[in-house]
Amino acid sequence: MSLLLKLLAQRIALGLLLLFLVSILIFAGTLILPGDVAQQILGQSATPEALANLREELGVNDPPVQRYFDWLGGLVQGDLGTSLTSGKAITESIGRRLGNTLFLAFWAAIIAVPLAILLGLLAVRYRERWPDKMISAVTLASISVPEFLIAYVAIFFISVRLRWAPSVTTINDSMSLGEKLHTISIPIAVLTLVVLAHMMRMTRAAILNVMQSAYIETAELKGLRMFTIIWKHAFPNSIAPVVNVVMLNLAYLVVGVVVIEVVFTYPGMGQYLVDHVSKRDIPVVQACGLIFAAVYIGMNMIADIVSIVTNPRLRHPK
Amino acid sequence: MNNELKYLSRQAALGKLSRRTFLGRAGALGVSAAAANTMLSTAVHAAGPRKGGTLRIGLQGGSTTDSMDPALATNTVAVNLIRMWGEPLVELTDDGGLQGKVAESFEASADAKTWTFTVRNGITFSNGQSVTAEDVAATIDRHSGEDTKSGALGLLRDIKGVRADGRNVIIELNNGNADLPYLMSDYHLIIQPNGGKDAPDAAIGTGPYIMKEIDMGVRFVAEKNPDYWGDLGHAQTIEMLVINDNTARVAALQSGQVDIIDRVPPRTAGLVARAPNITVASTAGPGHYVFIAHTNTAPFDNPDLMMALKHGINRQEMVDKILFGYGSVGNDTPINAAYPMYQEIEQREYDPEKAAEYFKKSGHSGPVLLRTSDNSFPGAPDAAALFQQSLKAAGIELEIKREPNDGYWSEVWNSKPFCTSYWGGRSTQDQMFTTAYLSTADWNDTRFNNEQFDQLLIAARAELDQTKRKQMYADMGTMVRNESGLICPMFNDFIDAYTDKLGGWVEGVAGFSLMNGYAAQRMWVTA
């Protein structure tokens, strides 16, 4: 067991190191962006006096290295800094947006992940027969169409024609959980369609791989039902690759849905980040970038850990 | 109109008959759906404003990074928000004249150097405080002070001093300016308690609504201010949603989630208008799309090359294909009939032969480089391609360089010698010329430098004889048309759309889109 703990500690330390490197990359990236924050805040209506006044006030005249370490110092103490554009603490405004993003991702995942695995299992059970082909065709088609197109088509039929659910999914605190879920039902459906195929295909492929093994043949000879074999013997042994893909897709649901957010006017992190990039609000961009990186690294770490825990061969490396 | 129809439309307007039933019965009487709809909206209008209800408005242009401080307002959402909670000293009337808001009246000295604004008696801010002349003076002071960030600073640079005297605010100028009240209608100059010096983004003003929920770039809710002095504000609640995606905004209107939207894309406006319950309203305004060249940079310092380019653009084609007819042709000046002192100047037409002639005379060879981006105006890359084709007929080669949206306004516009851009226009000729064509203007994006023009501009400001003034502006317009680096192919209309849940739309209101940003206050919920 202590070996496992050591492995976990190693993974986490590696994750933190990665995060640190990513923060440097993000900072360097934001420096390369053309234009400066004062110009972007004041827009076309900026006068040279106003620009100079604002630059001074925002402190963007300091050297970049100093700005970076100031920011890193604050971060270690749990302070993401203040937004250059609004002058407010980032932690607070980002918290609400992150909450919204996680809310959408959570409900999309709750539906998409079990559905994808179930469909994957069904596809294996009826391999090369019509259910398998149909599942493959539908999910591949839905992943091949750009997500904004699926979204627009869904809006046109479900929202404009049938009026079952709203197309503008701006949720707010005065809504009950039921109202919120109704409001975001179309984006959930679209996101489900987008992430389904990847997870389903991986489940199918991984299980099929295991299905060639001798112990599956033994189980078959014992006279077990096909679905029982798949669920009890094949699936546990193919969990590692499936978890990897599931985690990648979960990370996508958190960090990669900016297009869906724009189309459905959902107040999540993606739109928040884009707004601040275009205004050159570097502290916010960095905070968002870091959160996104943390989500990715965290999800991958979980996938690694699950793989290690479920696979005795990895738990006891030679 | 026969009596039965009249009766029916009044019943429908009063809400005693559903719209659908009305249209059905009108159809039975042999009236087309379009005519019946018009009839209904006329009747709704005649029945007068209906109080109460929630009006929901979907707007483009808001961002999470916006501020409630009127000094920092830059987009449509900010303008519409400001109109809810605050008011300037004066405001435009529907036909582009002036009416008092916080100021009850205003007058100028004979040389237009000293202006006196009288603060309206007995009005209060939404925090209960009375509005004083000191508040007004402090507001002007905040927007014109040395260390201000206000977008209105450029307008107010000529102010020498502001002081309060009882209920009067006296503004003294360095040079006479007959248009000062127009400057005071600028949306940045909202009268705030102590000028907003203590809490610039508190959203406390004298407007018809009080902000209840503020979520920048997402959603705003405002409730009617029960103590408002004027007759604006019919709905009890206004809910404003920021919907930046064009398709999403139109879908929100079609699915009934909002009652009114701005910026319907010209490409789809015709399709949107086909729905029986939606009206698409197009309003001519001073906004225009431009191709701008720096006339102090080669090769655009060559007047013959500039003339070749000006003759080589097909303006009508641009109006038809870029604006889909929702606009009018430009004439290489920033001024059109939307301005109060407009005087017609001969229209320049597409003439490839003349263009070729000028091009030959210029002695220029090789392609001309034009930079463009998607956000420089809607359809800008397409317009650039049309320009390329129309120039080709004159034997001029135009090279188009696509620039990224991101950073366009800081890296390309007003920095690179030839690019596409747009102007929202201003309320007077003086403001428009001062902002972009005075040789010392910060945004002189064509590098126009004409001493005679500058002198005329200053002289026209103090000229109180309207006929003379009109002629001066026409002369300036001609100078810009013939000598500047401005190629203006089209003036774009504002295209807004609303459902039949709302009444009270007024056609052709001067100023910005959505009835100069007052649609939410002036329209009412009919059912």
Is residue A47 a part of any domain in this protein? no
Is B149 close to A50, i.e. CB distance below 8 A?
yes
CB count in 10 Å sphere of residue B198: 10
Q: How confident is the model at residue B146 (pLDDT cuts 50, 70, 90)?
A: confident
Say if CB A116 and CB A140 are below 8 A apart.
Answer: no
Is residue A225, in this structure, part of any structural domain at all? yes
Res. B464 pLDDT band, cuts 50 70 90? confident
pLDDT digits (tens, 9 = 90+) for B26-37: 656 556 555 655
Report the C-alpha gap between A186 and A182 in whole angstroms. Answer: 8
Best residue in A33, A41, A44 for a mutation probing chain B (most B CBs within 10 Å): A44
Structural domain that includes position A256: 91-280
How many angstroms away from the CA of A125 is the closest CA of chain B?
41
Q: Would A2 be classed as within a structural domain?
A: no
Distance CA A177, CA A174 (A): 10
Q: Which residues in chain A have Cβ-Cβ distances shorter than 8 Å to B258?
A: 168
What distance in Å separates the CA atoms of residue B81 and residue B64, rounded to the nearest whole number?
Answer: 14
* Predicted pLDDT of residue B305: 95
What is the rounded radius of gyration, in angstroms, for the C-alpha atoms of chain A? 24
pLDDT, position A17? 92
Tell me: the pLDDT tens digits for B55-112?
999 999 888 888 899 998 888 899 999 999 999 999 999 988 899 999 999 999 988 9
Q: What is the pLDDT of residue A74?
A: 81
Q: CA of B214: which chain A residue's CA is closest?
A: A172
> Number of structural domains, chain A?
1
What is the rounded distance in angstroms from the CA atom of residue A81 to the CA atom of residue A287? 9
Range in A282-286, B328-332, B520-524 the model is least confident about: A282-286
Q: What is the pLDDT of residue B322?
A: 94
Q: Which residues of A touch B219 (CB under 8 A)?
A: 170, 172, 267
* Domain presence at residue A299: no
- Give the strands of the sheet with B494-499, arranged side by side: B209-215, B219-224, B237-242, B54-59, B260-261, B494-499, B278-283
ipTM score of the complex? 0.79
- Residue B17: pLDDT over 60: no
pLDDT (tens digit per residue) in A134-187: 999 999 898 899 989 999 999 999 999 999 999 999 888 888 999 999 999 999
> Residue A159: which of B154, B251, B411 has the nearest Cβ?
B251
CA angle A43, B203, A48 (to 5 degrees): 25
Q: State whether A50 and B407 contact (CB < 8 Å).
A: no
B95 has a chain A CB within 8 A of its CB: no
Decide if A32 is inside a domain.
no
User: Which residues of chain A lie closer than 8 angstroms to B149, CB-CB?
Assistant: 42, 50, 53-54, 57
Task: Tell which wins on pLDDT, B58 or B511.
Answer: B58
How many alpha carbons lie under 13 Å from residue A157 in its C-beta half-sphere? 7
Examine residue A183 and state whether it is found in any structural domain, yes or no: yes
How far does A35 lie from chain B, in Å, by closest CA? 6
C-alpha distance from B75 to closest chain A C-alpha (Å)? 9
Work out the average pLDDT over A88-107: 90
- Report the distance separating Cα A85 and Cα A215, nearest Å: 62
Residue B100 has phi, psi (to 5 degrees) of -75, 145
Q: Is the dihedral of CA B149, B153, B154, B157 positive or negative?
A: negative
* Beta carbons of B368 and B396 less than 8 angstroms apart: yes
- Return mean pLDDT, chain A: 86
Query: A220: domain CATH number?
Result: 1.10.3720.10
**Nearest CB partner across the interface for A40, out of B151, B216, B410:** B410
Q: Interior CA angle at B258 toward A94 and B211, to 5°?
A: 55
Q: What is the mean pLDDT of residues A90-118?
A: 92
Q: Which of A192, A188, A187, A194 is nearest to A112 (CA)?
A: A192
Residue A132 in any domain: the answer is yes
Instruction: Give residue for tokens 């009835």.
Output: B515
Q: Is the pLDDT of residue B430 over 80?
A: yes
Calculate mean pLDDT across residues B400-406: 89
Identify the H or E element spanning B372. strand B368-372
**If pLDDT is split at 50, 70 and 90, which confidence band does A304 have?**
confident
Q: Take residue B437 and report the two structure tokens written for it.
A: 């064509």
Kindly report the pTM of this predicted structure: 0.83
Half-sphere exposure of A177 (CA within 13 A, CB side): 2
Residue B216, helix vs strand vs coil? coil
Answer for the pair B475, B433: CB distance below 8 angstroms, yes or no: no
Which residue in the set B217, B245, B410 is minimally distant from A275, CB to CB? B217
Note the pLDDT tens digit of each residue in A180-233: 999 999 999 999 999 998 899 999 999 888 888 899 999 999 999 988 888 888
Res B131 pLDDT > 70: yes
Residue B58 in contact with partner chain A when CB distance is under 8 A = yes
Exposed / middle / buried, residue B121 (Cβ in 10 Å: 0-12, 13-18, 19+): exposed
| B209 vs B74, residue with greater confidence | B209
Tens digit of each residue's pLDDT (9 = 90 or more) over A229-262: 888 888 888 888 899 999 999 999 998 888 899 8
Contacts of B407 in chain A (CB under 8 A): 33-35
**Residue B80 and residue B207 in contact, taking contact as beta carbons nearer than 8 Å:** no
The number of residues making up chain A comes to 318
Confidence check: pLDDT of B364 > 80: yes
